[in-house]
C-alpha cells in the first residue's frame, strides 16, 4: 500500500476524541428522550434522487458536495450529506403517516466534498431531530427548546446565540422572490458566478452566499420580514412568543436563510464566535413541502441538525477516566490462575486490567501507568494459604485477604 494517510477531510476518532463525541451523543440522546424522541437509524447511503430532488439544484450540497457513485448494478447512490432527506424517505417507505406525529432522533456520519479546515470535514458527524406531522408553531418551539436544553446540558449556554427568521409560506416566498429578483438584477454584473447562476432559479439562495462581494450587495437587499403575508407573520410571532414564554433568548436575524430549498416558515441557527469561520453549530427549520415533494402524503415537519465535531470542540467538559484494578501475578507460573481470577472479577462488574507480561516490578509500573486504584498481587506463598495481597496504589497500604473475599472487598472499597 502506498498511502496510509486517512483520506483528506476524514479523521480517526481515538480514545479521548471518541469519548468527547460519545459524550455529545449521549447527552443529546438522553435529553431528546425527555421530549419523547426515539432514535431512528437510516442507511448512510440512499439513491441519489433522495438528495438531488429534495435539497434543491442550486444548493451547495447538490452542486458541489455530494459523494455520488454508480454501483455495479448501475444504480446511482449517494453517501448521505445530511439527515433530513433520509428520515423523510424512511417516513414514506415505512408508512409512518398513520403513526404521526413522529419524533425522531438520529446521529452518525455525513459526507460532503468541501474544503477541509478546522470544524469542516468531508466525513463529519451530526446529531439531529425531526418532528414530523405537526402543523402548528408548537412543534417549532418544541424542537428549539430541545436544542437549547441539549446545548445547556453540554455547558454551552453562554457560548452560543440563537438566531431566528421566517422564510414564510409559499405565497410569501413567491412575493419576496420577485422583489429580490428586481433588486439583484440591478447588480447583475457584480454578483459572483455562483449567485448569478441562482438569480433565475432561486434568488433567495443568494442571501446565503459567503462571497464577500455578494455580502455587500446583500446588505442592502430588501427584508423578507416586510414581505410576509398575515398567516406567515402570525406563525413566526407565535414561535417568538413561545420562546419568550420559555425564557429562551433569541435574536431575529432578517438576513438568515437556510441553504436548502425545502425550508419554509421558521429557520434558525445557533452560532458561536469561538470557532472562526465555522460559527454555526446547530441549524434547522420547518420543511412542510418536503415529504409531499418526495412523493409521500402531504405532511409538515420541523427539525435541526448539529455538527458533533463543532460541539465537541466547544464543550470542554473534563471527562473522567474510569480507574481499573490491576491483577498482578508475581511469576509467570501463576498466569493461568491470575487469568481465571481476572475473568471472575470482571463478571461481578469490576473494571480489571490484567498485566500480561514482564516481571513483578514491570507489571506494577504498568498498573501505575494505567492509573489503577489498586493491585491484587498473586504470590505463591499467600496462595498456599488461599490468600492474595491487596495493595492500594494511592496510599501504598497493603492487606492480605482471602481469595474468596476478593470480589466483595474490591466492590465495597472501589466498586
Which of these, 163, 270, 258, lies nearest to 207 by C-alpha position? 258
Smallest gap from Cβ 175 to ligand ATP, in A, equals 25
195/387 with CB nearer ligand ATP: 195
Task: Tell me: does residue 204 bind ligand ATP (CB under 6 A).
Answer: no
103/310 with CB nearer ligand ATP: 310
308/364 with CB nearer ligand ATP: 308
Smallest gap from Cβ 121 to ligand ATP, in A, equals 4
- Binding segment (CB under 6 A) for ligand ATP, from list 279-287, 354-362, 381-389, 407-415: 279-287
SS (H, E, C) the chain: CCCCCCCCCCCCCCHHHHHHHHHHHHHHHHHHHHCCCEECCCCCEEEHHHHHHHHCCCCHHHHHHCEEEECCCCCEEEECCCCHHHHHHHHHHCCHHHHCCEEEEEEEEEECCCCCECCECCEEEEEEEEEECCCCHHHHHHHHHHHHHHHHHCCCHHHCEEEEEECCCHHHHHHHHHHHHHHHHHCHHHCCHHHHHHHHHCHHHHHHCCCHHHHHHHHCCCCHHHHCCHHHHHHHHHHHHHHHHCCCCCEECCCCCCCCCCCEEEEEEEECCCCCCCCEEEEEEECCCHHHHCCCCCCCEEEEEEEHHHHHHHCCCCCCCCCCEEEEECCHHHHHHHHHHHHHHHHCCCCEEECCCCCHHHHHHHHHHCCCCEEEEECHHHHHCCEEEEEECCCCCEEEEEHHHHHHHHHHHHC
Given candidates 160, 267, 283, 367, which one binds ligand ATP under the rule CB under 6 A?
A: 283
Given candidates 153, 229, 280, 335, which one binds ligand ATP under the rule CB under 6 A?
A: 280
Smallest gap from Cβ 143 to ligand ATP, in A, equals 14
Smallest gap from Cβ 304 to ligand ATP, in A, equals 8
- Binding segment (CB under 6 A) for ligand ATP, from list 115-123, 141-149, 189-197, 400-408: 115-123
Given candidates 42, 54, 78, 126, which one binds ligand ATP under the rule CB under 6 A?
A: 126
Smallest gap from Cβ 210 to ligand ATP, in A, equals 7
Residues 304-333: x where in contact with ligand ATP by CB under 6 A, - otherwise, as a string: -xxx-xx-----------------------
Restricted to residues 75-94, the positions that interact with ligand ATP (CB under 6 A) are: 82
Across the beta sheet with 301-307, the strand order is 38-39, 102-111, 123-132, 301-307, 280-286, 264-271, 161-166, 251-252
Smallest gap from Cβ 19 to ligand ATP, in A, equals 19
Smallest gap from Cβ 151 to ligand ATP, in A, equals 12
149/310 with CB nearer ligand ATP: 310
Restricted to residues 245-274, the positions that interact with ligand ATP (CB under 6 A) are: 259
163/288 with CB nearer ligand ATP: 163
Given candidates 46, 49, 114, 382, which one binds ligand ATP under the rule CB under 6 A?
A: 114
112/227 with CB nearer ligand ATP: 112
31/84 with CB nearer ligand ATP: 84
CA atoms of 327 and 225, how far apart (whole Å) = 68
Positions touching ligand ATP (CB under 6 A) are 82, 112, 114, 119-121, 124, 126, 259, 278, 280-283, 305-307, 309-310
Amino acid at each position: 500500500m502506498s498511502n496510509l494517510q486517512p483520506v483528506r477531510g476524514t479523521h480517526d476518532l481515538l480514545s479521548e476524541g471518541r469519548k468527547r463525541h460519545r459524550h455529545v451523543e449521549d447527552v443529546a440522546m438522553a435529553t431528546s428522550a425527555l421530549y419523547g424522541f426515539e432514535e431512528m437509524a437510516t442507511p448512510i447511503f440512499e439513491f441519489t434522487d433522495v438528495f438531488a430532488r429534495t435539497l434543491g439544484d442550486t444548493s451547495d450540497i447538490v452542486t458541489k458536495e455530494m459523494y455520488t457513485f454508480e454501483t455495479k448494478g448501475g444504480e446511482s447512490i449517494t453517501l448521505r450529506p445530511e439527515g433530513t432527506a433520509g428520515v423523510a424517505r424512511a417516513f414514506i417507505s415505512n408508512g409512518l403517516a398513520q403513526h404521526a406525529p413522529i419524533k425522531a432522533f438520529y446521529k452518525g456520519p455525513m459526507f460532503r466534498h468541501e474544503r477541509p479546515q478546522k470544524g469542516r470535514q468531508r466525513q463529519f458527524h451530526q446529531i439531529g431531530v425531526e418532528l414530523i406531522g405537526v402543523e402548528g408553531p408548537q412543534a417549532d418551539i418544541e424542537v428549539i427548546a430541545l436544542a437549547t436544553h441539549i446545548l445547556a446540558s453540554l455547558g454551552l449556554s453562554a457560548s452560543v446565540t440563537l438566531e431566528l427568521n421566517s422564510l414564510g409560506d409559499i405565497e410569501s416566498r413567491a412575493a419576496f422572490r420577485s422583489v429580490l429578483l428586481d433588486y439583484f438584477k440591478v447588480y447583475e454584473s457584480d454578483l459572483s458566478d455562483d449567485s448569478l447562476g441562482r438569480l433565475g432559479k432561486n434568488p433567495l439562495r443568494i442571501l446565503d452566499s459567503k462571497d464577500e462581494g455578494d455580502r455587500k450587495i446583500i446588505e442592502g437587499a430588501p427584508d423578507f420580514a416586510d414581505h410576509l403575508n398575515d398567516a406567515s407573520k402570525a406563525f413566526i410571532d407565535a414561535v417568538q412568543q413561545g420562546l419568550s414564554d420559555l425564557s429562551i433568548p433569541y435574536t431575529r436575524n432578517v438576513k438568515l436563510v437556510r441553504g436548502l430549498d425545502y425550508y419554509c416558515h421558521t429557520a434558525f441557527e445557533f452560532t458561536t464566535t469561538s470557532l472562526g469561520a465555522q460559527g454555526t453549530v446547530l441549524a434547522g427549520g420547518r420543511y412542510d413541502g418536503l415529504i409531499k415533494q418526495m412523493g409521500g402524503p402531504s405532511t409538515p415537519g420541523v427539525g435541526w441538525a448539529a455538527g458533533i465535531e463543532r460541539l465537541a470542540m466547544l464543550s470542554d467538559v473534563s471527562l473522567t477516566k474510569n480507574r481499573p484494578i490491576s491483577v498482578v501475578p508475581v511469576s509467570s507460573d501463576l498466569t493461568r490462575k491470575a487469568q481465571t481470577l481476572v475473568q471472575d472479577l470482571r463478571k461481578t462488574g469490576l473494571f480489571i486490567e490484567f498485566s500480561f507480561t514482564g516481571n513483578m516490578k514491570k507489571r506494577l509500573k504498568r498498573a501505575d501507568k494505567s492509573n489503577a486504584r489498586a493491585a491484587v498481587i498473586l504470590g505463591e506463598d499467600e496462595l498456599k494459604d488461599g490468600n492474595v495481597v491487596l495493595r492500594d496504589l494511592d496510599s501504598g497500604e497493603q492487606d492480605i485477604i482471602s481469595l474468596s473475599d476478593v470480589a466483595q472487598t474490591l466492590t465495597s472499597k472501589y466498586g
